[in-house]
Structure 1
Amino acid sequence: MKLAINGFGRIGRTILRQLLALPLGQDIELVLINDVAPLETCAYLFKYDSTFGPYPGAVETGTASIIVDGHTIPVTHSPDLSRVDLTGVDVLMDCTGIARTSDVASQGLTAGASKVLISGPSPATEVTIVLGANEDQLGDARIVSNASCTTNGLAPLVKVLDRIGGIAAAHMTTIHCYTNSQPMVDAPRGDLARSRAGALSMVPTTTSATHLIDEVMPHLAGRISGAAVRVPTASVSAVDLIVTLERGMSETAFDTALREAIAHSSVLGWTDQPLVSSDLRTRPESLVLAGPETRMVGKNQVRVFGWYDNEWGFSARMLDVARLMTKS
């Protein structure tokens, strides 16, 4: 599979780190990076990462390329991807965060790529796919959204809980680390609360996961609400989910069913250790459930809590969904 990355930011760089860690012989080749930043800046930010630490291998720049551990990756700097030659590329990963209109989202196809995978919600896609929730809906779609990091954590869990006891109603709060959408110092933003310094306060705000769950799992539309609290940490977020089950059960029966379902999931994990957020950095799962935090009130209400590395886990799902797209 030949991949190209458009937008070498947090997700684009994390995807490259994961690609380089794959065992030798994996049939995945990164053939191009496109980013508007200067070549030296792209190489520097890949080598020195404030969240994941310095890349342990060699990172150099060549003539219009980044050379990582001897692998030469061509780099272009076009703000209009349709002007870049992507002939032979199986999947173009658009990690710019701006592919929200059909003309921008389709630039990769115009440039010659067979398919486009967007690293976030986008109304311009043919389908939104969350691994572990609705991958059977992929079909032969050419422009696909990988949803959001929170939706990737929430939707597979919701599917499991709906299968175990049925979901009558639920509310999710994501306790989310700050992101580049927030200012470092107080500065105007559309959302007044998100105009405040992201590393100094807990900031209540909205989450795209609420409407994305309705899109990914339409049979539950209107049953799940959600909110977010941005907190002053640099990485790893959490899902705090309160569910009213349609079918009551004992806490023991629920715990047994949940553990069994997680054990058979390819994207959900489990821990019985009293972990904190920094312990989950670089975990590849979409969500790691915290066993000690599971609570049940009566026979129908349950609280489930899970951790997710919103960059590393989401990037892992980008690669997983790209593999599925080349098989469809």
Structure 2
Amino acid sequence: MNRIPPAFPAHAPLRIAINGYGRIGRCVLRALHELGLNDLIEVVAINEPSDLATMAYLSQFDSTHGIFPGTVQAGEACLRVNGREIAVTHETRPEAVDWAAMGIDLLLECSGRYGSRAQFQRFIDAGCPRLLVSHPGESAEDVDYTIVYGVNQNGVPADAAIVSNASCTTNASIPVLAALDQEYGVRHVFLTTLHSVMNDQPLIDGYHHNDLRRTRSAMQSIVPVATGLAQGVERLLPQLRGKVQAKAIRVPILNVSAIDLMLQLTCDVSAAQLNTTLHELSVRSPGLVGYSNHPHASIDFNHNPNSVVIDGSQTRTNGDGFANLFLWFDNEWGFANRMLDATQAWAAKFHPAAQAVAD
């Protein structure tokens, strides 16, 4: 871990920057304003290769989450969001940005382009004091800690330099699996993620990926893709190591995903008992875990800030401890909200103003 520089004064907001202003980067900025956190957390800089006019336009008008509830304008080398200026650079390499000159406390790496320790270290070596990554590291050793907010955020070390916010699917599945393992014991897990389309898929067949399935039109097919979800679950819940399998399927919708969760518990349990346990989990975890028995479709969860919403109407059991659950999650908005939660949880360890809020 790297030495952490002195924190900012107690009355200063946490100063953050965003590297990569795509779906997650823009949702993080928007969530900051929708939650009214912009006086506690200040975005002082964004690094994004795209041009300012396009950045401003896509911030203001969003096909998935609607029109920004405020104003976004392109200024002179800056975005002006609700009257506040955010410096903008357009570099493609971490070393090309003078992170130290920005005086930031934390960088949110939202480009998805980096996965190894050596790649993350490039930001640190370029003057960034701390890095919160919007995806898992390639291995557990690539980051100092992985946060799944609501499960282990209090354990993040104050002197960590590189922290992962895991993945949207990990944030959706871990709270449920942890609760069921504690209550009943888990023997085996099989997760199938039904994930909305992503930018690594083409609208029509094209040369987009070395995975041949991802060369096919995203809006015309259901497309199986590789996933590291099983490894992500086992990193966070090591007691389940060797017990977890997962696969992922992309489905032709813009947003909101689901997990079809098959598991074998160590004891027989009825669907009603499972739903009681899961409902109690939602009561203990407001804003993170939701529960509903309504006859839902995916669109019902667009712009939902929870990490996961358990669909109790789909809970099934079949004897010998076998159970089937169905979990909904907004893979963009829920995850962006967790990025901000993780930011505050980590900042409470090193930043006086954040510590005061936590206390």
Alignment of 1:234-253 (within 5 A): 234-253=254-273
Q: For 1:128, give the aligned amino acid.
A: T
**Farther off after superposition, 206-215 or 312-321:** 206-215
Q: Which residue of 2 aligns with 1:122?
A: 137
In the alignment, is the contact (CA less than 8 A) between 1:148 and 1:208 conserved in 2?
no
Matched, 1:93 2:114: no
Percent sequence identity over aligned pairs:
39
SS of the residue aligned with 1:107? helix
Deviation at 1:25, TM superposition (A): 7.2
Q: Which residue of 1 aligns with 2:319?
A: 298
Deviation at 1:289, TM superposition (A): 0.6
Q: Which residue of 2 aligns with 1:41?
A: 54
Matched, 1:162 2:176: no
- Distance in 2 (CA, whole Å) between partners of 1:148 and 1:68 is 27
Deviation at 1:79, TM superposition (A): 1.9
Deviation at 1:299, TM superposition (A): 5.6
Q: Which runs of 5+ in 2 are unaligned?
A: 1-13, 350-359
Matched, 1:203 2:223: yes
Matched, 1:145 2:158: no
Q: Which residue of 1 aligns with 2:345?
A: 324
In the alignment, is the contact (CA less than 8 A) between 2:192 and 2:260 conserved in 1?
yes
SS of the residue aligned with 1:233? coil
- Distance in 2 (CA, whole Å) between partners of 1:169 and 1:223 is 5
Aligned residue among 332, 352, 355 for 1:311: 332
Q: Which residue of 1 aligns with 2:357?
A: none
Aligned residue among 293, 299, 303 for 1:272: 293
1:32-59, Cα deviation, whole Å (9 max, x unpaired): 1111111112111111212112224222
1:216-275, Cα deviation, whole Å (9 max, x unpaired): 211111111111111110000001101110132333333222211221024211112111
Deviation at 1:326, TM superposition (A): 1.1
Q: Which residue of 1 aligns with 2:125?
A: 110
In the alignment, is the contact (CA less than 8 A) between 1:106 and 1:116 conserved in 2?
no
Q: For 1:99, give the aligned amino acid.
A: Y
Deviation at 1:20, TM superposition (A): 1.1
In the alignment, is the contact (CA less than 8 A) between 2:154 and 2:345 conserved in 1?
no
Aligned residue among 118, 124, 131 for 2:149: 131
The 3 A distance-change label for structure 1 pair 108 and 252 is: same
Matched, 1:261 2:281: yes
Q: For 1:117, give the aligned amino acid.
A: L
Q: Which residue of 2 aligns with 1:78?
A: 91
In the alignment, is the contact (CA less than 8 A) between 1:240 and 1:304 conserved in 2?
yes
- Distance in 2 (CA, whole Å) between partners of 1:233 and 1:145 is 27
Give TM-score scaled by structure 2 length: 0.87
In the alignment, is the contact (CA less than 8 A) between 1:199 and 1:232 conserved in 2?
yes
Deviation at 1:136, TM superposition (A): 4.5
SS of the residue aligned with 2:40? coil
Give TM-score scaled by structure 1 length: 0.94
Q: Which residue of 2 aligns with 1:12?
A: 25
Deviation at 1:137, TM superposition (A): 4.2
Q: Which residue of 2 aligns with 1:58?
A: 71
Q: How many residues align?
A: 328
SS of the residue aligned with 1:269? strand
- Distance in 1 (CA, whole Å) between partners of 2:77 and 2:283 is 45
Runs of 4+ off more than 6 Å: none
- Distance in 2 (CA, whole Å) between partners of 1:308 and 1:251 is 21
SS of the residue aligned with 1:248? coil
- Distance in 2 (CA, whole Å) between partners of 1:144 and 1:133 is 15
SS of the residue aligned with 1:106? helix
1:190-236, Cα deviation, whole Å (9 max, x unpaired): 22222211110111222221111111211111111111111110000
1:42-93, Cα deviation, whole Å (9 max, x unpaired): 1111112121122242221111111122111111112223343333311100
1:89-110, Cα deviation, whole Å (9 max, x unpaired): 1110001111223343123323
**Farther off after superposition, 31-40 or 202-211:** 202-211
Deviation at 1:311, TM superposition (A): 0.5
In the alignment, is the contact (CA less than 8 A) between 1:133 and 1:216 conserved in 2?
no
Alignment of 1:278-293 (within 5 A): 278-293=299-314
SS of the residue aligned with 1:66? strand
- Distance in 2 (CA, whole Å) between partners of 1:252 and 1:225 is 26
**Farther off after superposition, 114-123 or 51-60:** 51-60
Q: Which residue of 2 aligns with 1:233?
A: 253
- Distance in 1 (CA, whole Å) between partners of 2:285 and 2:53 is 41
Deviation at 1:24, TM superposition (A): 6.4
Q: Which runs of 5+ in 1 are unaligned?
A: none
